[in-house]
Amino acid sequence: GAGVSQSPRYKVAKRGQDVALRCDPISGHVSLFWYQQALGQGPEFLTYFQNEAQLDKSGLPSDRFFAERPEGSVSTLKIQRTQQEDSAVYLCASSRFNTEAFFGQGTRLTVV
C-alpha cells in the first residue's frame, strides 16, 4: 500500500481483556517501530524490529505487552489483561533504515 496501515482504528476493551493491534508497514521498509501516545504527550517508544528480528523492546511497559513480526512485514502488538492505564493511541511507524519515519493513523485503545 501507499502508507502504513493500522487496524483497528478504534478499540474499546474491558479491563482484563486481551487485545491485538495490527500494523502493515510500507512495502520494503526494513525498520518497524511501535510507539504509545498518551493524550497531550509525544509518542513514546515501545519496541523496534529490523525485518523479523525484535532488536529493542526496552520501551514495553510490562510483560503484558508483546510484539511480533514473524515474516518481516506485518507486525502485531498484543496487550494481555488490559488495564485502564493502557488507554492511549498506539502508533506504528516504518522506515527504510535510519531515515524519516512514516507513521500510520494509529489505533486508539480505550480500556473501560
Is 23 a binding residue for other proteins by CB under 8 A? The answer is no
Is 25 a binding residue for other proteins by CB under 8 A? The answer is no
Site for other proteins (CB under 8 A): which residue of 42, 63, 70, 84?
A: 42
Is 7 a binding residue for other proteins by CB under 8 A? The answer is no
Long-range contacts of 28-31, Cβ-Cβ distance < 8 Å, separation of 24 or more: 28/96, 29/94, 29/95, 29/96, 29/102, 30/95, 30/96, 30/97, 31/94, 31/95, 31/96, 31/97, 31/98, 31/101
C-alpha cell at 104: 500510520
Site for other proteins (CB under 8 A): which residue of 11, 19, 24, 33?
A: 33
Is 54 a binding residue for other proteins by CB under 8 A? The answer is no
Site for other proteins (CB under 8 A): which residue of 44, 54, 66, 68?
A: 44
